[in-house]
């Protein structure tokens, strides 16, 4: 809401500086977003009357004019404007005046740089100054003729005084609950309440309207068929209208408020809306047939052409204003092309109504058609302001367009407003605020807002004004008192706390550990958007971790995405990481080792699921590089090492890896991918990116990825209880075991088999070599294991160790059909 200070000051006298007014409004919830200073773009320009106009002796199109600028003197000037005539009031720039826009608008726009106007000889005649167009005064782009002023202008008055300059425009961000502040009067009321000064609403005078039958040329009816959507409808017919441009002062005000001036009739309806908040509409009376206004739902009506020339699709519940035959307007939103006020209009029907906010909001949003009127109806206008608005408009139309009432004033109110009565306990108010505001202060504040207040000893009975539909219960009044008194007046206190143990969020603590582990492994944390292209979800379908395995999931799809590239919620964090990789490779990076912890979104049988995941990407030189030391390149085993480091760091034992089913991870290299699980639950996937993806992304090195389900990981991390043992007192003995097995048998299986053997004294088994090639038969491989034997209570003898080791050899051979390699 743009509020010119000069207009505001018509309704409230406040002697505070502009900045202070802005600050107080902002602190009270009417945030002044910008304060624009409006300064005159001219000096030495005065209101003047043209006394006499003569033809220029040497030029047909020029006139010689005698002008009287009161105290500023008289002058004879040469003028080329077609509209100049004796008796008119206009703007006169005397010799020495400066115009930022310059003569004929050729100035630089800067007042400082403007040359002072000099007396000049034009076609042989001396001209002492000039008469100015709006363009030349920087008021508009109009250069058709010179400025024409209303009869209220006084010759000799400095023109900037006439324009109420300098001025300032406050642009206020009005919150949706404060429809009452979408008018100059509403903001003035707020200023009055904040500064404790008197409000002067506009007084309406000089309109004679019959409210009862009595003599009228035009009679009509209003029928409200949808009283639940239209609580009140007032209307008045006026004739003898001359449609013309509005006077300068009104056009200026509309423009300062961000509205375009059209003609006096439309401008008056807008002006009254800006002034007191009541939206109005004027129909061309000629177009209303059947002398009847019907307020009804669209029903069967399918389409309607609004006055902007657009055909709008209607829905049965949209509210229309119609006559006996056809719709004339979409109620509260926009009038129709068929009944628009045009240049030839001589009589109008003025409408001033109260429409149900939510109905207007629904229709306006669906049509994506927001007008200044609908904006106000949606937020709730004064429930009782309809007649007042109509009278104010009638008054202005009379003054500006010569309009005369030609009907009685119709005022139909099928649903009279209910008075609201709120009991506000002072104890409640102070217990919400944690303050002690005296009852006199509370009463004073509420009265300034226009509420009627009955005072009890501990309870105030408050009747909110009709223009504050947002005040319905005690909490609403508490807010009013708090913001008008100032939130700064409420003390700041810390709550009293019991010395209770803080509840720790285990998931957060766990993720913190995990992040630290990843960071320790050289991984940089990144953050990517959860929105993704459908194609990426197809390429990277993620996995759903459930007891006993994994299944495919459907993505969650966005109905109204920003772009097609962001139309689904990610099933996997991996596409985001690959994007980040590509982004960095395009910007000087040669290696990228990153991780993200975030949610993935799936729909399983229509039910949305959110799962937290850890995902990582590793590409390029990874570790231990230096001068003369080739770095370790990222590959399956560096990434697996990172995973294993995390598992160790979380004390999770026995994660088993097996080749990933290609259907589970189509984006991974089929020969270099694994799925891993713990305790029978799928934990995640790891592998090198599929060569086809490597090509698609134009990568030079292998790129390793893994993704882990955090809920599963956390379940097993928290299960790992720590048992404390003393360090062994007796030495262990190592015996190596080299086995020849079929080359298809995974080394992990060989190791796991030996680890699981139930052989006394066997403490641990480690894999230290896998070999295929020379001296190994085709189709076989050698797997070398280091077995450690130890007893708790003694040093083992060779003989004891040999016995145990032989047992291991024997059992391994039979279980794996392995041969011993010597």
Partner 1 sequence: MREQLEQIRAQALEQLGDAATPEQIEAVRVRVLGRSGELTEIMRRMPEVPREERPAIGRLVNEIKTQIEERIAVLSEQLKRLAMERSLVEARIDVTLPGLNVPRGWLHPVTQSRERMLDILESMGFEVVETPDIEDDFHNFGALNFPPDHPAREMQDTFFLFGGLLLRTHTSNGQIRVMEQRKPPLAIVCPGNCYRPDELTVRSSPMFGQIEGFMIDRAGVITMAHLKGVLTEFLRAFFGPESAVRFRASFFPFTEPSAEVDISCLLCGGSGCRVCKQSGWTEILGAGMIHPNVLRAVGYDPEEYQGFAFGMGVERTALLKLGVEDMRLFFENDLRFLRQFRSGEAVS
Q: Where in 282-311 is the site for partner 1 (CB under 8 A)?
A: none
Instruction: Measure the CA–CA gap between 79 and 66, rounded to whole angstroms.
Output: 10
Site track for partner 1 across 418-447, x = CB under 8 A: -------------xxxxx------------
For residues 365, 368, 369, 373, the Cα torsion angle rounded to the nearest 10 degrees is: 30
Strand partners, 98: 43
Question: Cα separation of 570 and 606, whole Å?
Answer: 16
Candidates 86, 342, 461, 562; binder of partner 1 (CB under 8 A) is 562
CB 540 within 8 A of CB 574: yes
CA distances from 705 to 507, 618, 684, 686, 710 (A): 24, 6, 11, 6, 16
635 near partner 1, judged by CB under 8 A: no
Q: Residue 372 CB, nearest distance to partner 1 (Å)?
A: 14
User: Which is nearer to partner 1, 255 or 479 (by Cβ)?
Assistant: 479
Of 633 and 780, nearer to partner 1 (C-beta) is: 633
**Min CB(16)–partner 1 separation in Å:** 18
The site string for partner 1 over 313-352 (x = CB under 8 A, - otherwise) reads: ----------------------------------------
Nearer to partner 1, 638 or 656 (CB): 638
Among positions 346-365, residues that touch partner 1 (CB under 8 A) are 357-358, 361-362, 365
Query: Which of 112, 151, 508, 799 is in the footprint of partner 1 by CB under 8 A?
Result: 508
CA distances from 55 to 63, 128, 168, 769, 772 (A): 5, 17, 42, 114, 115
Q: Using the rule CB under 8 A, is 711 a contact of partner 1?
A: no
Is there binding between residue 524 and partner 1 (CB under 8 A)?
yes
* CB 33, min distance to partner 1, A: 9
Closest CA to 742 of 777, 785, 767, 784: 777
**Contacting residue, 529, 564, 651, 820, with partner 1 by CB under 8 A:** 529
CB 37 within 8 A of CB 47: no
Sheet containing strand 681-689, strands side by side: 524-525, 592-604, 607-619, 703-709, 681-689, 668-678, 655-659
Please, where are the H alpha helices in 165-222?
184-195
Judged by beta carbon, residue 357 or residue 465, the one nearer partner 1 is 357
- Pick 140 or 430: Cβ nearer partner 1: 430
What CA–CA distances, in Å, run from 210 to 1, 280, 286, 408, 558? 35, 20, 22, 5, 58
Q: Which is nearer to partner 1, 329 or 518 (CB)?
A: 518
Task: Write down the least CB distance from residue 379 to partner 1, Å.
Answer: 6
- Where does this chain touch partner 1 (CB under 8 A) — which range of 57-65, 201-209, 319-327, 500-508? 500-508
| Residue selected from 17, 121, 343, 494 as contacting partner 1 according to rule CB under 8 A | 494
Task: Tell me the sheet residues that pair with 658.
Answer: 675
The three-state secondary structure class of 800 is helix
Q: For partner 1, which residue of 206, 213, 626, 680 counts as binding (CB under 8 A)?
A: 626
Q: Which listed range, 160-168, 229-237, 480-488, 707-715, lies at the site for partner 1 (CB under 8 A)?
A: 480-488
CB of 548 or CB of 606, closer to partner 1:
606
Q: In angstroms, what is the minimal distance from the CB of 622 to partner 1?
A: 6
Quote the least distance from Cβ 445 to partner 1, whole Å. Answer: 13
- 228 forms part of the interface with partner 1 (CB under 8 A): no
Structural contact between residues 553 and 600, judged by C-beta atoms closer than 8 angstroms = no
Binding flag, residue 531, partner 1 (CB under 8 A): yes
Q: Please report whether residue 623 would count as binding partner 1 according to CB under 8 A.
A: yes
Structure tokens at 691: 């060569």
What is the C-alpha separation between 329 and 39, in angstroms, rounded?
A: 40
Q: Which of 196, 625, 671, 691 is close enough to bind partner 1 by CB under 8 A?
A: 625
Q: Which of residues 643-672 bind partner 1 (CB under 8 A)?
A: none
- What are the tokens at 168? 């300032």
Q: Which of 119, 244, 475, 604 binds partner 1 (CB under 8 A)?
A: 475
Phi/psi for 33 (5° steps) reads -75, -40
Closest approach of Cβ 462 to partner 1, in Å? 15
Q: Is 207 in the site for partner 1 (CB under 8 A)?
A: no
d(C-alpha 590, C-alpha 345), whole Å: 74
DSSP secondary structure, 629-687, as one string: BPPEEP-HHHHHHHHHHHHHHTT---EEEEEPPTTT-TTEEEEEEEEEEETTEEEEEEE
Q: Which long-range contacts (CB under 8 A, 24 or more apart) does 524-529 make?
A: 524/593, 524/594, 524/595, 525/594, 525/595, 525/596, 525/597, 526/576, 526/577, 526/580, 526/594, 526/595, 526/596, 527/596, 527/598, 528/573, 528/576, 528/577, 528/579, 528/580, 528/596, 528/598, 529/566, 529/576
Region of 111-119, 281-289, 315-323, 584-592 interacting with partner 1 (CB under 8 A):
584-592
**Among residues 601, 619, 667, 706, which is the contact residue for partner 1, using CB under 8 A?**
601
The residues with which 461 forms a beta bridge, in sequence order, are: 423, 454
Pick the closer one to partner 1 by CB: 627 or 726: 627
Binding residue for partner 1, selected from 457, 560, 663, 725, defined by CB under 8 A: 560
User: Which DSSP helix (H) or strand (E) runs through 391?
Assistant: helix 386-401
By beta-carbon proximity to partner 1, the closer residue of 200 and 633 is: 633
- Output the six-digit token pair for 184: 């100059």
**Which 364-423 residues touch partner 1, going by CB under 8 A?**
365, 378-379
Is omega for the bond preceding 166 within 30 degrees of 0, making it cis?
yes
Residue 448: phi and psi, rounded to 5, are -60, -30
Structure tokens at 809: 């050899």
Instruction: Write down the least CB distance from residue 64 to partner 1, Å.
Output: 51
Which range, of 100-108, 261-269, 318-326, 499-507, touches partner 1 by CB under 8 A?
A: 499-507
Residue from 20, 583, 658, 772 binding partner 1 (CB under 8 A): 583
| The one segment of 151-159, 411-419, 622-630, 652-660 that binds partner 1 by CB under 8 A | 622-630
525 binds partner 1 (CB under 8 A): yes
Position among 52, 512, 552, 792 found at the interface with partner 1 (CB under 8 A): 512
Please state the φ and ψ torsions of residue 224, each to the nearest 5 degrees: -105, 105
User: Rule CB under 8 A: which of 18-57 touch partner 1?
Assistant: 26-29, 31
Report the residue number, 119 or 475, with the smaller CB distance to partner 1. Answer: 475
Strands (DSSP E) found in 123-242: 125-127, 130-131, 167-173, 221-224, 230-239
State which of residues 87, 206, 213, 491 lies at the interface with partner 1 (CB under 8 A): 491
Is 592 a binding residue for partner 1 by CB under 8 A? The answer is yes
| Interaction of residue 518 with partner 1, rule CB under 8 A | yes
- Exactly one of 119, 342, 535, 631 binds partner 1 (CB under 8 A); that residue is 631
CA dihedral of residues 531, 537, 542, 547 (deg, nearest 10) = 90
Asked if 483 and 474 count as a contact pair (C-beta separation under 8 A), the reply is no
CA torsion sign, 173 to 177 to 182 to 184? negative
For position 165 contacting partner 1 by CB under 8 A, the verdict is: no
Of 400 and 471, nearer to partner 1 (C-beta) is 471
């Amino acid at each position: 809401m743009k509020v010119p200070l000069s207009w505001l000051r018509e309704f409230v006298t406040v002697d505070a500086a502009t900045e202070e007014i802005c600050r107080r409004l902002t602190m009270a919830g009417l945030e002044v977003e910008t304060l624009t200073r409006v300064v005159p773009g001219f000096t030495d320009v005065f209101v003047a009357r043209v006394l006499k106009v003569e033809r220029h002796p040497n030029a047909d199109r020029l006139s010689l004019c005698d002008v009287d600028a009161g105290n500023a003197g008289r002058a004879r000037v040469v003028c080329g404007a077609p509209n100049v005539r004796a008796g008119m009031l206009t703007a006169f720039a005397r010799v020495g005046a400066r115009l930022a826009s310059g003569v004929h608008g050729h100035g630089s726009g800067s007042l400082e740089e403007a040359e002072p106007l000099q007396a000049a000889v034009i076609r042989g005649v001396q001209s002492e100054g000039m008469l100015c167009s709006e363009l030349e005064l920087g008021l508009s782009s109009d250069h058709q003729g010179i400025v024409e002023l209303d009869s209220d202008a006084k010759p000799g008055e400095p023109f900037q005084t006439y324009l109420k300059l300098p001025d300032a425009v406050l642009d206020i961000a009005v919150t949706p609950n404060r429809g009452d502040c979408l008018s100059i009067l509403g903001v003035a009321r707020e200023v009055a309440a904040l500064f404790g000064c008197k409000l002067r609403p506009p007084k309406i005078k000089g309109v004679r309207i019959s409210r009862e039958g009595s003599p009228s040329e035009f009679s009509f009816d209003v029928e409200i068929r949808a009283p639940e959507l239209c609580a009140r409808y007032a209307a008045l017919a006026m004739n003898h209208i001359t449609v013309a441009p509005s006077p300068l002062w009104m056009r200026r005000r509309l423009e300062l408020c961000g509205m375009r001036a059209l003609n006096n009739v439309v401008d008056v309806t807008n002006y009254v809306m800006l002034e007191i908040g009541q939206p109005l509409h004027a129909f061309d009376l000629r177009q209303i047939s059947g002398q009847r206004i019907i307020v009804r739902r669209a029903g069967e009506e399918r389409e309607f052409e609004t006055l902007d020339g657009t055909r709008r699709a209607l829905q049965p519940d949209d509210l229309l204003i119609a006559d006996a035959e056809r719709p004339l307007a979409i109620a509260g939103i926009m009038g129709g092309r068929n009944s628009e006020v045009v240049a030839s209009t001589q009589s109008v029907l003025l409408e001033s109504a109260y429409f149900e906010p939510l109905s207007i909001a629904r229709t306006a949003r669906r049509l994506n058609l927001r007008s200044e009127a609908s904006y106000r109806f949606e937020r709730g206008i004064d429930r009782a302001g309809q007649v007042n608005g109509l009278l104010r408009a009638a008054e202005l139309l009379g003054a500006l367009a010569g309009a005369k009432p030609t009907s009685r004033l119709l005022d139909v109110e099928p649903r009279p407003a209910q008075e609201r009565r709120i009991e506000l306990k002072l104890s409640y108010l102070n217990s919400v605020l944690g303050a002690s505001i005296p009852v006199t202060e509370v009463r004073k504040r509420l009265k300034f807002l226009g509420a009627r207040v009955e005072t009890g000893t501990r309870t105030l009975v408050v009747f909110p004004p009709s223009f504050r539909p947002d005040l319905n219960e005690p909490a609403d009044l508490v807010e009013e008192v708090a913001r008008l008194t100032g939130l700064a007046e409420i003390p700041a206190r810390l709550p009293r706390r019991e010395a209770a143990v803080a509840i720790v969020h285990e998931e957060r603590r766990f993720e913190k550990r995990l992040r630290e582990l990843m960071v320790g492994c050289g991984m940089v944390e990144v953050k990517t958007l959860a929105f993704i292209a459908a194609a990426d979800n197809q390429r990277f379908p993620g996995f759903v971790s459930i007891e006993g395995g994994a299944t495919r999931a459907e993505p969650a799809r966005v109905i109204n995405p920003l772009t097609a590239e962001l139309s689904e919620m990610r099933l996997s964090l991996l596409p985001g990481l690959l994007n980040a990789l590509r982004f960095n490779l395009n910007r000087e990076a040669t290696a990228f080792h990153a991780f993200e912890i975030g949610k993935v979104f799936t729909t399983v049988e229509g039910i949305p699921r959110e799962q937290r995941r850890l995902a990582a990407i590793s590409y390029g030189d990874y570790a231990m590089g230096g001068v003369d030391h080739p770095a370790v390149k990222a590959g399956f085993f560096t990434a697996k090492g990172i995973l294993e480091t995390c598992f160790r760091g979380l004390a999770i034992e026995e994660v088993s890896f097996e080749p990933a089913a290609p259907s589970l991870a189509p984006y991974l290299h089929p020969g270099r991918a694994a799925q891993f699980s713990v305790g029978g639950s799928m934990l995640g996937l790891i592998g090198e990116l599929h060569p086809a993806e490597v090509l698609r992304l134009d990568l030079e090195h292998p790129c390793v990825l893994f993704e882990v389900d955090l809920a599963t990981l956390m379940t097993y991390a928290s299960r790992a209880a720590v048992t404390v043992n003393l360090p062994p007192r007796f030495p262990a003995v190592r015996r190596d075991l080299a086995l020849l097995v079929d080359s298809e048998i995974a080394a992990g299986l060989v190791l796991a088999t030996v680890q699981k053997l139930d052989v006394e004294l066997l403490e641990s088994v480690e894999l230290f070599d896998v070999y295929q090639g020379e001296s190994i038969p085709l189709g076989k491989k050698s797997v070398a294991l280091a077995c450690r034997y130890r007893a708790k209570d003694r040093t083992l003898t060779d003989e004891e160790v040999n016995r145990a080791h032989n047992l291991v050899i024997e059992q391994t051979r039979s279980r794996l059909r392995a041969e011993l390699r010597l």
